[in-house]
Structure formats: structure tokens, C-alpha cells
Structure 1
Amino acid sequence: MANLSVNPALVKWDGHKGLPRFDQVGDQDFAPGFEAALVAHEAEIDAIANNPQAPTFDNTVVALEIAGDELSRVSALFWGKAGAHTNETIQALEREIAPKMSRHYSKIGMNPALFARIDALWEKRGALDLSVEQERVLERHWKGFVRAGAKLPKAEQERLADINEKLAGFGARFGQNVLGDEKSWSLKLTDEADLDGLPGFLKDSMAAAARDAGDADGYAVTLSRSIIEPFLTFSTRRDLREQAFKAWVARGENGGERDNIAIIRETLALRAEKAKLLGYDSFAALKLDNTMAKTPDAVNGLLRKVWATARNKALEEEASLGKLIAEEGKNHPVMPWDWRHYAEKLRERTFSFSESELKPYLQLEKIIEACFDVAGRLFGIKAVPVKDAAAYHPDVRVFEIRAEDGSLKALFLGDYFARSSKRSGAWMSSFQSQHKLTLKNGSVGEIPIIYNVCNFAKPAEGKPALLSIDDARTLFHEFGHALHGMLSDVTYPSVSGTGVARDFVELPSQLYEHWLTVPEILEKYAVHYETGAPMPKDLLDKVLAARTFNAGFNTVEFTSSALVDMAFHTRGAVEDPMAVQGEVLAELGMPASIVMRHATPHFQHVFSGDGYSAGYYSYMWSEVLDADAFSAFEETGNAFDPVTARKLKNNIYSVGGSIDPEETYKAFRGKLPDPTAMLKKKGLAMLEELAGSDA
């Protein structure tokens, strides 16, 4: 990285406690930064591969673990910005760099001299006297090379590299197309009648969205989930609900240059070809090989059993909503743009409270405090705000995470508000992972630098950000992921934090959600934004009683998406992806009143990269684990039982991927769970056949 044209701030992070100096990096810096970092990494790889000494764990595996530090830093800054604060310059480079990075890593994975060293260590691993963590790291590298095509003939290697490069490009374009559709659509409302039924907090958010778009006086319904969902919930204007809903579900399927159907078709064909090159029956079989589920049959078995229960529950819920519609003197069926509206009315009738009544007690600031408090009670850490550290956007907050003895454990960044430069959804990522290795510059180990990204509606100036209960759960969920990164205590970067099996990675996040509704947390942090008064006990009791309300709808939305994902990746190449989606839903008996949580053209988990491809099921797989894991606390009678919390930290949150997930879960709980606790948590009727089935 000695090239004078490269901005040193890309790789020399000397901001607060080692934070990157985001304010010193410009968009124009990334292209030369990548170019130099790729050359430097290639030289490091060549040095490892061509080392004249016999391969050892240190001179090969450890060397690989610390190689490419500059590339990791440039990449972390760039991909962080591409997701959370992008623009045309960044998007253009993303389309260029995604396939280039794929080609770079394919070349490494197919380096015969390098694989020979890894393979030699793998073959004699039993005689190397490795620790459990070292065995896991060696296994990860060996399997990574095999999956990269290291054992394939040269011609097939070249084809695999070409496939991976094309897939990387398609993934970048898919996500950009969805963001483009989200940014380009809004429903402008100026007539008071158009606002009928909308609570004040939503009108404030819509007014702020309109101002951001240059409209000083009107209101805007946008496709940000924090606006579209409450609009669908509260608006009494069925015509406007239908218009907004159809725009929401049509993202990625609007024709023209942003249409994703052709990308999906090509992606599925390439993934199927890749799987066959690597010796697998399907892409799903390839992706599941290193997971707890292991096989497509195991995944589909769980999903279909849950589906049967969830569908029956959803049909009961639909009938109840239909009665409400009839009571209003209307005769239309329950359509997808009706469900949230009438479900809210039914909840208000059943539990005597509404979302608008609850929301004044769920201030963003207080829920953030609650997240930190729970982490302190369970794991003994404290979040200290840093006021003068520049982040990648003015809205982003910076915190030091300190252990009980005051030592610095991690840095945490919270990016909570929606904006047009940010992709939708919520996620956790890292700028830097925890490890204990000695780097080339002589420093020993690094602390994690973790960030959470959410898309809550930004309030008007001087007003608090108020969350829905689902928003609050999302915040807890993403902070659970963050804790998985920040509490990591391993030696090697590749198994740090969230470097675990895909169907285990959601356990720490989904488990953490449980503490949001622990009564003593709600009693302390659910306080009215105007009066400071705690949520009345009768309202708190109603909130807790309503935790499983609408469970059929929620589970059908999710499970249908997971089953379509599995269908795509077990069938292989398909000519018409939307026809396949339709066939799967018809075979399932998908209620006409509900749609998939993520329709195929905007299913970013699956097609904007392959992180959750053939893996969307993992949220439910982990939910089986998290429901059972929280039961460990319930069985003690104390949601913060210190003995159980210590076991949780030592066996789940701190070990990353350094131990097999089944083993580490059994070390915490003593056994693997079945789905009983999960279904009970959801409030779904129990199927007898599920009682003894494996997770």
C-alpha cells in the first residue's frame, strides 16, 4: 500500500481507540485502494504458497489468517458504505468490484501450490497436536479450498471461477435494483381525507419523508418498512392501502432496467451448475453441507410440519378478520392490504390496546438503553457513548463497550434511521473482528468494531423517535448479533464472532429478543415520552398477553418464503421463477389474504449475494434453539440468572465458530432441543408428530 495515490486513511485506522477515520475517506479513494490492496494480498498469497519450508500450521494456516489485512479494511469500509450510505459513484464501483473480488478469491482458492500445503496439513491433522479451535480453523480452510474448486480439473476450475464472478455481479445488481425501486416510489398525500386514521407519530414521519423529498407541506408514504407497515395498519383508506401495498410487493418486478426476473433466472442456473461441478445434487445440498440441518430433506421436514400448523392458525385468524369487515357493512374478502388494518382492530378489541396507544412508551433512546442494560446484567459489560468520534454518517452513534474491570472490549456503532441512501431492512456487520494473533505490524490481537443498521422512521426535529413493538424487537435482535461479535474471545479471525454455521448465526440474535419483554425491563424502560410515566401495569399485562397474537399470519409469511427458497435451490435452473413461486404457493395452499414476507424479485436474503440462499430457513432453525435456550433461564425463575448467563456467554456468545455448534449448544443446555418450545412461544397449536422430532 505504498502507492502515493492511495489514501492511507483506508488502512491506517488511528481514530478513536482504533476507529477508522471515516471523515478522511472519500468515494474516489476506494478504486485505487482496492487496486493496491488486491496486489498486496496476491503477493502475500504467493509468498505463502511458494514458501520453501515444509507446511506447518503457523507458516500456512496462521499466515493465511493474517494475510490481506489491507484488503479487509478497504472492503469493510466500502461494503459498509454500499449498504448504509450509498450513491451513484459507490454503486458503479460496486458493480465493478464485486466480480473482481470474486475472481481474486477464486484464483486463491484454485492456487495448486497453496492447496497442496493445506491438503498436506489436513491429511496429517491427527498428528499435528492441534487444539479444538485450530482443528476447526484448518477444517474451514481445507473445505473452503475444496468448495472453491481446488480439486477440479483446470477447465472446470476456470468455469467455476467464471460462474462465481457472474454471480457476484448479479448479486450487486439485484440489491441495487431493489433499492432503486424503493427510492423512486412514494405516495404523496395532501388532502386531509387521505390521512384518515393515521396517528400523529406516523403523520410526523410521513411529513419528514416528504420534506426530505423536497415537499415542504405534504406527507409521503414511502416503501421504508417503518412507514409502509404502520400506514397499512392505520389508514382507513382501502384504496390507498392497496396502492401502497402493491408498490411494496412489486419491488424488483416493475419491468425496465431495474427488473430482477432475468437476474434470478440466471442466478439459479449458475448456482445449479456450480453445485454439479462440485459434486452436489443441488445448490441446496451444497449450501447445507456445513450446517446443523445438513440436508434439504431435514429443512423441508421442519418447515412443512410448521407450515401445516401455521396455515390452520392463519385461516382461523382470517375468519376473525372477515367478521370485522362484515360488521362494518362491507362484503370484500380479506386481502393482503387489509390484513394489518383489521388485525390491529382485532387486537385492540381482544386485548383492549392499540399500537398507537403502545408506541408513546417505546422511545428509541429508551430501547437502546434497555439493550445495553440487559447486556450489562447478563454479561457484565457497559456501553459508554463517544461524543466526538466521526462515523460514516452524522446520524451514526459511537460507543465504547467496556468489561466489568473497565477494559475496552469493543467499539459499537448504531445507525438507526432510514434514509434513501440505505438499503432496507436491518443488519449487523463488522469493520474489524476480534482475534489474538500477532499482525505483521507487530500488534497483538484486535478488538471488534461492530455496527448495527436499522431503518426506523426519523422523527421531526425536536420530537422523539417512537417505535412499534416489532421495531423494538428488531433493535434487540440486531444487538444480539452485535453481542455475538463483541463478546467473541477466540484466537483466529476466521472463527471469530458470527463466523459460525448459517443456521446457528441467528441463535444469539433471536435469543436476545426474549429480554425485551421481560417485565422488569419493560417496567423500567417503557416510559411515556411526554410524562416519563412507566407503562401502566394493565397495558403492560395486555402487551405480554398479546405476544402470540397474529402468530399464524407471521409464521405463514416467513415459512412460505423459506419453502420457496428451498424449492428454487433443490430444483435447479428454472425458466420462469415467478411460475415456480406460484406453483409452490399453490401446492402449499397459500391463503390469498397473505403474501410471502419476501417475494422472489426483492428477496435480498437469497439473491443479493448468496448469504441466505437455501438458508432463509435458518431463522426458524435458530428459533427452535432460542426458545429452548431461553427456557433455561425460565426454569431458574430468574431471567438474569448469573450461572445460566455465564454458561450462555462462555458457550454461545464468546466461542464463535471455534467449536462445533451442536457441541457448544449441548455444553450450554445439556441436549439439543425439539421444536416444542418454539411452537409454544409462537402460540401455535401443537402437532403430536412434532413432539419427538429433532431440530
Structure 2
Amino acid sequence: MTEATNPLLTPSPLPYGLPDYAAIRPEHYLPAFHQAFSEHLTEIRALTVVRSTPTFENTIEALERSGELLDRVAHTFYTVSSADATAEIQSVDEQLAPLMAAHGDAIRLDGALYWRVAQVHERLDSLELDAEQRYLVERHFREMTHAGAALDETAKARLTDLNQRLSTLNTTFEKNLLGDTNELAVLFDTAEELDGLSSGELSATARAAADRGFDGRYLVTLPLFSGHPYLASLTVRESRRRIMAASLERASRGNEHDNRSVLTEIVQLRAERAALLGYPSHAAYVTADETAGSPDAVERMLRELAAPAARNAAREQAALQEIIDNSEAEPFALEAHDWAFYTEKVRTARYDIDTAALRPYFEAERVLQDGVFFAATRLYGIRFTERSDLSSYHPGVRTFEVHDEDGTAVGLYVLDLYTRDSKRGGAWMNPIVSESALRGTLPVVANNLNVSQPGDGEATLLTLDEVTTLFHEFGHALHGLFARVTYPHFSGTNVFRDFVEFPSQVNEMWILWSEVLSNYARHFETGEPLDEAVIERLRATETFDQGHATSEYLAAAWLDQALHRIGDGDELGEVAAFEAAALTDIGLLNPVVPTRYSSTYFAHVFSGGYSAGYYSYIWSEVLDADTVEWFRENGGLTRANGDRFRSRLLGVGGAKDPLQAYRDFRGRDAEIAPLLKRRGLEP
């Protein structure tokens, strides 16, 4: 396949290098990857055969210039493989996984390249480099060493085998999860079984059923986490039970989609790889190159938070049981599928807030334009213009051009809001084009959510959780849009994993900020603003149900750590038994408060990039909560505050040690007290 017949082999003609998805077919990807691999290896060989002394320019900068075609093809493909994984795309993904792993190792473990990088690193103090260049040398040397470049050839060969096998298993895990999640969508025969849902929610289930050929019935598809947004409002207990049961048994039913043997092998191979690289466990290997530094530091934080969270959850559970005992004609013991429903009753009784009644005030387009975009414009001065002329990988995807106040181009923002069977669960941000002054590229970033799409003509009304997710993921998008670096290695969100969630969590603060909320929270039919008294009661509920929310999150974070603290040769054993033992160890085993992700559907750690790193959310939240305090102390939603946060944090991308960047912004290290207060965990 030639450049003339494969659109991936030449730069896109579209603005900002947005891939011309209309011209790209599944059969274009593998040939493009093969050519990109070949070109990249040729570039590396040309770099390593240079006979002159290694310098920053002929080694580090040359390394940064290499692989441009591969980066372009990979960003294009992985955007689609996560968001629209048709059977053809899944086939490509399965074939590609070991090839990508092998190619990555061919670069990272190249002895001649490592020698040249090490030579530059050794002379670092004598070189006249700016701060970004100096940090780039340090990071390349550290990352290649961490990846195993200093190993002997026998160890490198085994490492390459392990990485290829693991890449295949990661792809298998995601494919199994997507398949079983689709199969376990819960089909209902009558609308009465879904009593409590709004008309928009009911139409979404009818649309989902019709899309699969079940006209006249109702299909509830499953999100990635253990629960479901509908559990808060469904009045029929059996319907709640069916949905929760389906969610909890994903990829563990003994069928073709069972992930237990897959994840067991992943855990064992990761432990072997860590030992080969000189670490006692995969968790030790991962955290060694994060801000945490070690699994012990992670454990100390998780244990410090787990005990008060479990106590709060127990109090909440007792309060819910009391509601059941006093209100139900035939009282029953509270179970996991009842929690959200009775929590809403308590919330209504205590705070006079019905979260289902809030949804008419959270119409998706208004939240986006008058909430998310509005806050970003007030804070950073940026403007958004929809580009309906720019098509993307799916008809439901929208593209917005972003400019600074003075008209300077910032990049493109791509939004893929709705769920579909070909999209993996959860929500995420990914770069389609990475910014780099060296390559002359501006960023194109995408946000993916999994909001249920109502029937034609029906408004998309979001839950408060979905509003939070949209603001959160847009925080990642801002990080990707604002970073201005020279070298592609540092572009966008290429920062330490346990720092990357920080900017996205900070952006959540604007959801209930008066100026922002009053602008977007208006009834979708009447335009009536959300009552200020309701808003005040919403703010009063910020610590409400935090025992449950914190416990389910910490349980998943600890489960991830426990799975990845296994040493080489240790046996995982039966998965459910291992989970129970791990959660008992940290005091979070409570079937009424199940872990947010059980192992067989824990995509973050078995098919995503968060292995031994799911703790990152709470770790980053320390910085986030402290930053929110700073904004409140300094006047909130102002351009001066936005400019400071943008220039000192978002704008540096990965070109500076993240904790140093935080000190530059805050003037000191973060303090944990604001986090404890936010989550109701103060002593």
C-alpha cells in the first residue's frame, strides 16, 4: 500500500492535522504501522551510527525528532480503538498489540542508543542547556534505565517476550470486558419495571433495546464501575438487584469472556518483569518513577484514610437500614443495590434535595456551552467555535476550534458524549495530535463519556455525576490544550501518573461555583434557574455519603496495590478469595459497599495505564483540594488566577518536575487538611 492509496502515510490535509477519518479504512492501519515502525528504526539507526561525540543535538533532540509518523498513526488508531471498536478495529488491535510492544522495546532497550543518552547525561552539568532540555536528558536516561536498557542481552530478550505477552493480554482483557458488558446489559419487558426513571432515561433504554432488535422493550446498558446511575431512582427492588448483579459478575461467569485467567497471568508476568528489572514487585517498579516513590508511601496514605472512611460508611449504612425498617411494610436487610435508592431518600429528608429532580436543570448542551466552556472562558480567556465542517471517526462526534482572547490558535477540542456498544466503558481524555514546537504541531484532544442517548427529539439530561465527569474530563483537555513545550516527550498530559488527575480534579470546583452554576443550571423547558436555596443545600451535601464514596474508591485502590505487590513466583490463587483477603486486610470488606471495580472488570489496571497506580486519584486530590483553597482565598474565577494556573502548571506539560511546578504555583507543598475536610475524614 503506497502513500497515494493510504491516507495515514502522509500528513492530514485537515486543520491542525486532524486525521481525515472519512478517508481512513480499517485495512489502512496495519500497513501504516509497519511502515512507521520501519521508518522509526531507520531514524534510530542513523542516530546511533554517528561517530562524533554524543551531544544534546545529535542524540537527545534527534531522538525527539524521530518517530513522527508512528506517533501520528498511533494517535489516530488508538482514538478509534477505544471509542469505536468495531470487529475490524478489534482485529487490528489484537494483531497490533505485540507488534507495538516489540517496537517499543527495540527503541527503549537499544544498547547503542542507551550508551549515547548515558554519555549526554553524564556530562549534563557541563552542557549549556535550558531547563526543559536539561530535564529532557534526565527523563530519557531515567526512563530507559527504568525500562531495562542496562540489562544484559539475555535479560532483554526475556523482557521483550514478557512485554509482548502482556500487551496481548491487556488487549484480550479489554475485548473480554467489552463483550461481556454488552452481553450482560439487562433487558426489561415493561416500562413498569423501570418505574422511577425520567421520560428521557426511559427513552434511552427503549432506544438501546431497539438498536439491538428488541423493539418495544427496554435495555439498561452497564457503565464501567460497579453501580449504575439508575439505581438511585428505580423503585422496583428486583430491577435494582438485576442491574447490580449483572454489573458485579462481568467477565467472571466462566464463559468465553471470563477474565480471571487473563488477569492472573497479567499479575504473574508483571511480577516476573519487576524482578527482572530489580524490583520486589510491580507496585515497587511503578511507584519508583512516580511522585509517590514507593508502595509503602501509597499504603500509608490508603490506610490513614481507610479506617475513618469505613467508620463513616458504617454510620451511613445504619441510617439507611433505619429508613428501611421504619418505612417498608416488610423490612429487609440493606444490600448493595439498595444503597443509592435509600441514600436519595435520606438526602431528600435531610437536605430537601431530590437529585433526579435536578436533571431537567442539567441539559447537556447548556452544561457544555454555559458551564464548561463558560468557566474556561472566564478563567483563561479562550473561545470555542464549533467546526461542523470537520468530520471525525463517528457521526456523533463534535469538534470545536479553540482560540485565545487575542485570536491566537490554541487547538481543537473533540467531544464524544454518548455511549455505544463499540465504545469501552468509563470516561477519558486522549490526544489525537500532540503539541510540540519542535514538530510545529498544535494539540487536538478528545473527551469521551458514556452518556445514554435519548430518543430522537428528546433532550439529553445529565445526572450530577455526569456533569461532574464532563467538567473532570475537560480539565484533562485543558491540560492537553494549554501545554506549550518544545519537545513531544513533554506534550500535554505526559506527566507522572499520580499527578495527571490533579488538573482534572481542580476543574470540578467550578460545578457549584455560583457564577458558573447560575449560568448553566436552568430548566431545559422553561429556562428557569435552579433555585438558590437548592444550590445552598447542594453545597451542604458535599460531605454527604462520602463514607460510601471514599470506601468504594479506596477498596479499588487497595485491591490494585495488593494485586501488584505480589512477588515473582507467588501465587494469586482464586481471584474472589484474594479480593476478600485484601479488603479484609485494610478493613474495607463490606458486601453492601462493594469495591468500585472488581478485578475482572478493573480496566484501569488491566487494560489501561493505571496498574499499581489507581491510588493516583486520591494522591492527586491532596493537591486538588489544596488548590481549591488557594482559588477561594484569591478571588475564585478570575483571569489573574487562571493565567497563574495556566502558566505555572497547565502550560508546562511534563517539562518540569510536577511537584516543583506545584510549588511554583502554590508557593509551598500541598497540605492534606483540605482533603480530609472535603471527604469528611477529619479527626
Q: TM-score, length-normalised on structure 2?
A: 0.97
For the 8 Å contact 1:458–1:465, the answer to whether it is kept is yes
Aligned to 1:46: 45
Verify the 8 A CA contact 2:54 2:119 in the aligned structure 1.
Answer: yes
Q: Is the 8 A contact 1:362 1:528 kept in 2?
A: yes
Equivalent residue, structure 2, for 1:625: 623
List per-residue Cα deviations over 1:499-536 (Å, max 9, x = no partner).
11111100100000001110111111100011111111
Alignment of 1:177-576 (within 5 A): 177-224=176-223, 229-327=228-326, 328-369=328-369, 370-437=371-438, 439=439, 445-572=440-567, 573=570, 574-576=572-574
CA contact (8 A) 1:7 1:33 kept: yes
Matched, 1:679 2:676: yes
- For 2:664, the equivalent position in structure 1 comes to 667
Q: Distance in 1 between matches of 2:532 and 2:168?
A: 53
The one-letter code matched in structure 1 to 2:173 is F
Distance in 1, matches of 2:223 and 2:581, equals 29
Map Cα deviations across residues 548-604 of structure 1 (whole Å, 9 max, x no partner). Answer: 221111000100100111111112342333322110112233222110101010101
- Post-superposition Cα deviations, 1:31-68, rounded to whole Å, max 9, x if no partner, equal 11111111111111111111223211111111111211
- 2:641 is matched with which residue: 613, 636, 644? 644
Which moves more between the two structures, 345-354 or 192-201?
Answer: 192-201
CA displacement at 1:357 relative to structure 2: 0.8
Counterpart AA for 1:655: V
* 1:592-607 aligned within 5 A: 592-607=591-606
Q: Could you tell which deviates more after superposition, 194-203 or 671-680?
A: 194-203
Does structure 2 conserve the Cα–Cα contact (< 8 Å) formed by 1:224 and 1:418?
no
Change (3 A) 1:499 1:165: same
Deviates more, 1:29-38 or 1:542-551: 542-551
User: Per the alignment, in what secondary structure is the counterpart of residue 188 of structure 1?
Assistant: strand
Query: How big is the shift at 1:256?
Result: 2.3
What CA distance in whole angstroms lies between the structure 2 residues aligned with 1:267 and 1:665?
35
Deviation at 1:486, TM superposition (A): 0.2
Per-residue deviation, 1:225: 6.1
Structure-to-structure mapping, 1:43-82, within 5 angstroms: 43-82=42-81
Pair 1:84-2:77 in alignment: no
Deviation at 1:4, TM superposition (A): 5.0
Is the Cα–Cα contact under 8 Å of residues 209 and 220 in structure 1 kept in the other structure?
A: yes
Distance in 1 (CA, whole Å) between partners of 2:126 and 2:520 is: 55
Query: Which amino acid is 2:468 matched to?
Result: R
- Give me the whole-angstrom Cα distance separating, in 2, the residues matched to 1:672 and 1:4: 51
Residue type of the partner of 2:575?
P
CA distance in 1: counterparts of 2:199 and 2:541, whole angstroms = 23
Query: Does the 8 A contact of 2:186 with 2:246 survive in 1?
Result: no
The alpha carbon displacement at 1:196 in A equals 2.4
In 1: Cα distance, 2:436 partner to 2:186 partner: 48
**Change in 2 beyond 3 A, CA 1:577/1:129:** farther
- Residue number in structure 2 paired with 1:14: 13
Compute the displacement of 1:224 (Å): 3.4
The answer for the alignment partner of 2:651 in structure 1 is 654
Task: Measure the CA separation in 1 of the matches of 2:436 and 2:165.
Answer: 33
Deviations 1:289-342 (A, max 9, x none): 121111111111111111111111111110110011112133322111111111
Report if aligned partners of 2:16, 2:441 keep a CA contact under 8 Å in 1: no
CA contact (8 A) 1:3 1:36 kept: no
Counterpart of 2:557 in 1: which secondary structure? helix
What residue identity is the alignment partner of 2:681?
A
In structure 2, the partner of 1:691 is none
Q: Give the stretch that moved more between structures: 374-383 or 412-421.
A: 374-383
Residue 236 of structure 1 and its aligned partner are, at CA, apart by 1.8
In structure 1, C-alpha distance between the alignment counterparts of 2:441 and 2:207, rounded to whole Å: 40
| Contact residue 336 and residue 591 of structure 2 kept, 8 A | yes
C-alpha distance in structure 1 between counterparts of 2:654 and 2:187, whole Å? 48
Give TM-score, length-normalised by structure 1. 0.95
User: Partner of 2:228: helix, strand, or coil?
Assistant: helix
Out of 554, 575, 578, which is 2:576 matched to?
Answer: 578
- Pairwise CA distance, 1:651: 1.3
Segments of 5+ residues of structure 1 without an aligned counterpart are 440-444, 688-695
Distance of 1:61 and 1:267 partners within structure 2: 33
Amino acid at match of 2:170: G
Q: Measure the CA separation in 2 of the matches of 1:257 and 1:144.
A: 37
**DSSP 3-state at the match of 2:206:** helix
Distance 2:226 2:304 in 1: 34
Asked if the contact 2:191–2:202 (Cα under 8 Å) also holds between the matched residues in 1, the reply is no
Q: Could you give the per-residue CA deviations for residues 98-145 of structure 1, whole angstroms, max 9, x where no partner exists?
A: 111101111112222111111110111111122221122112211222
Cα distance between partner residues in 2 of 1:198 and 1:373: 30
CA distance, structure 1, for counterparts of residue 168 and residue 513 of structure 2: 44
Contact 2:381-2:639 at 8 Å conserved across structures? no
Give the SS at the match of 1:416: strand
Instruction: Give, in whole Å, the separation in 2 of the partners of 1:394 and 1:191.
Output: 31
User: Residue 169 of structure 2: SS of its match in structure 1?
Assistant: helix
Q: Distance in 1 between matches of 2:151 and 2:666?
A: 41
> How far did residue 16 of structure 1 move?
3.1
Map of 1:588 onto structure 2: 586
Q: Is the deviation greater in 643-652 or in 413-422?
A: 643-652
Superposed displacement of residue 227, structure 1: 12
Alpha-carbon shift at residue 472 of structure 1 (Å): 0.3
Letter in 1 for 2:682: M
Measured against aligned partners, the alpha-carbon deviations of 1:465-513 in whole angstroms (never above 9, x if no partner) come to: 1101110000000000000010011111111111111111001000000
Shift of residue 3, structure 1, vs aligned partner? 3.2
Q: Which residue of 1 aligns with 2:28?
A: 29
- 1-side partners of 2:561 and 2:82: how far apart? 26
- Report the secondary structure of 1:220's partner residue: strand
Q: CA separation in 1, counterparts of 2:351 and 2:10? A: 54
Structure 1 position 195, deviation (Å): 2.4
Task: Check the 8 A contact 1:361/1:529 in 2, yes or no.
Answer: yes
The sequence identity of aligned pairs, in percent, is: 37
Contact 2:97 2:171 in 1 (8 A): yes
Measure, in 1, the Cα distance between the counterparts of 2:325 and 2:341: 14
More divergent stretch after superposition (624-633 vs 539-548): 539-548
Q: Which moved more, 1:230-239 or 1:489-498?
A: 230-239
Alpha-carbon distance, 1:459 to partner = 1.6
User: Aligned equivalents of 2:349 and 2:448: distance in 1?
Assistant: 34
Which shows bigger deviation, 355-364 or 673-682?
Answer: 673-682
Partner letter of residue 250 of structure 1? E
Give the distance between the partners of 1:621 and 1:236, measured in 2 at CA. Answer: 37
Deviation at residue 547 of structure 1 after TM alignment: 2.2
CA deviation after TM superposition for structure 1 residue 216, in Å: 2.5
Structure 2: gaps (5+ residues): none
Question: Is contact 1:561–1:599 with CA below 8 Å preserved after alignment?
Answer: yes
Question: What RMSD, in angstroms, separates the aligned Cα atoms of the two structures?
Answer: 1.6
How far 1:199 sits from its partner (Å)?
2.5
Whether the 8 Å CA contact 2:225–2:596 is kept in 1: the answer is no
- The one-letter amino acid of 2:573's match is E
- C-alpha deviations, 1:602-655, integer Å up to 9, x for none? 10110114x11110001001101000001111112x211333322211111100
Aligned equivalents of 1:225, 1:269: Cα separation in 2: 24
CA contact (8 A) 1:5 1:32 kept: no
Distance 1:8 1:218 in 2: 42
